[in-house]
Structure 1
Amino acid sequence: MKPLAPLALFTRERRARLAGYARDSAFRTLSRDWLRASVQRQYVYNFDWLGRPIIQYPQDMVAMQELVWRVRPDLIVETGIAHGGSLVLSASLLALLDLSDAAEAGTPLDPRAPRRTVLGVDIDIRAHNRAAIEAHPMAHRIAMIEGSSTAPEVLAQVRARARGVQRVMVCLDSLHTHAHVLAELNAYAPLVTPGSYCVVFDTFVEDLPPGSFPDRPWDVGNNPKTAVRQWLAGHAEFAVDSDIEQRLQLTAAPHGFLRRRE
């Protein structure tokens, strides 16, 4: 039998290792306990991406890089902007895709006319955050809409930008109540193109001790994961990509990586 090529061997070893994680209850418990401890210590607020604060776990940033490279979206729609770090992350990943395409085609890249862009929606884009995002080197790839992500006039603008785009990815990370996330799923998931993803953040609220967010309206029983469960029951065109969280172990989006079937 011909020996496997190095990359194929590496991939097979990885699959075996990840399969072992599924049977390793001690490791899963350790990961869960660390995640809970990190929430108590506001660990997720410690990071920047290209100079802008990004309220994400590093593991989830890596997961987004893998998804963007695999899907190669032309548009990423994000609800929830905060300091803009996630928009800058998406914009920088899309810039690398454009650079990759240009290198493969042997054509020059025009930085003033990016092919791939990111659209952010937030009910309150604070003036200092908007100014910082608009001054960022990635700003030419970023558009922003201020308003409720579920308001008809906002949705009309988002749908207009997505119309005719070949590959669309969506990230939901705004108000984390069941009702709001369910409404966002109904509004934004249809924009996701086959083979791409709708990533629903902060589904981990359901897995944390009750009262972990005393100053927020979401809690166990009322959060993004409960919304995802209800929504998926009526949408067979999407499925949870459990392989992602199996690899990450530490993620704010367990059961939140939703892939649209091709």
Structure 2
Amino acid sequence: MDPIRQFQTQVQKNVTFLGDNQKLFQLSLEWMMSVGEGNYSYNFAWLGRPIIQYPQDICAMQELIWKVQPDLIIETGIAHGGSLIFSASMLALLDYCEAQQNGTVLDPAQPNRKVVGIDIDIRSHNRREIEAHPMSSRIQMIEGSSIDPQIIEQVYAIKKNFQRILVCLDSNHTHDHVLAELEAYAPLTSLGSYCIVLDTAIEDCPADIFSDRPWGVGNNPKTAVWEYLKTHPEFEIDKSIQHKLLITVAPDGYLKRVQS
């Protein structure tokens, strides 16, 4: 067997083994509950901006971006902007590699690929840092509720100029809000691409852990995903990702578009 193919086959076997091991799932969940006391996900940055994600999910995202080769990434939730910077840097790499292959010259002021971020409250200090970042030419920020029809209309107007689209939902984590985001933005996901719904792990946490938040067990992104998939067979959960990661905030949240 070709050695590259052989390695890929072994990786698939590894992922299957990990996914079948319920003990590892429980250990991973216990670990996540323990490190949560130290705000684990808050402690990482991407190119200088806080990203507020698990490194494992960041790694999964870069694999998907390389696989899908999107022209446009749509993100709900901006916070400090690290995720926007991450997506923009990955799109810059795609543009660079494409230029190398085609023998063309990149114009940094006119990037081919773009990331759009939506947030109901883009704080001035975060906006200032994002706009001053070297990746800012690839970033467009929209302030407003991600489920406001006028905001949705703006995003749909932007997407007309792009072919391959990847979506990432990470704003208000209540069931109703995430379900509304899925109805609005998941249809923009290109065939073979992904709509990623973060913080679905809320459903697997102790019921009292989010007592100060409007979401919790039974009312969270995972319940919204389950509800959405009942009537949208064009998407399926790519469980191989969560099986590979084990430690992830998005179990059942990596949705692959498998039908037009």
Partner of 2:116: 119
Please give the alpha-carbon distance, in whole angstroms, between the structure 2 residues aligned to 1:19 and 1:190: 30
Partner of 1:162: 159
Decide which of 216, 223, 248 is 1:226's aligned counterpart: 223
Partner of 1:62: 59
Partner of 2:149: 152
The SS at the match of 1:247 is helix
Partner of 1:238: 235
Partner of 2:68: 71
Question: 1:164: Cα distance to partner?
Answer: 4.1
Please give the alpha-carbon distance, in whole angstroms, between the structure 2 residues aligned to 1:120 and 1:23: 36
Question: 1:193: Cα distance to partner?
Answer: 1.2
Gaps of 5+ in 2: none
CA contact (8 A) 1:198 1:259 kept: yes
Question: 1:215: Cα distance to partner?
Answer: 2.0
**Post-superposition CA distance 1:35-87 (Å, at most 9, x none):** 12122321110000000001100000000000000000000000000000000
Partner of 2:24: 27
Partner of 2:254: 257
Please give the alpha-carbon distance, in whole angstroms, between the structure 1 residues aligned to 2:142 and 2:19: 41
Question: 1:224: Cα distance to partner?
Answer: 0.3
Matched residue type, 2:53? Q
Please give the alpha-carbon distance, in whole angstroms, between the structure 1 residues aligned to 2:19 and 2:34: 22
Is 1:209 aligned with 2:206? yes
Matched residue type, 1:191? L
- Normalised TM-score (structure 2): 0.97
Matched residue type, 1:70? K
Please give the alpha-carbon distance, in whole angstroms, between the structure 2 residues aligned to 1:70 and 1:239: 17
Matched residue type, 1:162? K
The SS at the match of 2:236 is strand
Seq. identity, %:
56
CA contact (8 A) 1:40 1:212 kept: no
Partner of 1:193: 190
CA RMSD in angstroms, aligned pairs only: 0.9
Is 1:42 aligned with 2:39? yes
Partner of 1:10: 7
The SS at the match of 1:258 is strand
CA contact (8 A) 2:19 2:244 kept: no
Question: 1:14: Cα distance to partner?
Answer: 1.0
**Post-superposition CA distance 1:89-119 (Å, at most 9, x none):** 0000000000010001011111111000000
Equivalent pairs, count: 259
Question: 1:234: Cα distance to partner?
Answer: 0.4
Partner of 1:136: 133
Matched residue type, 2:243? Q
Gaps of 5+ in 1: none
Decide which of 76, 82, 104 is 2:79's aligned counterpart: 82
CA contact (8 A) 2:210 2:216 kept: yes
Please give the alpha-carbon distance, in whole angstroms, between the structure 2 residues aligned to 1:147 and 1:213: 25
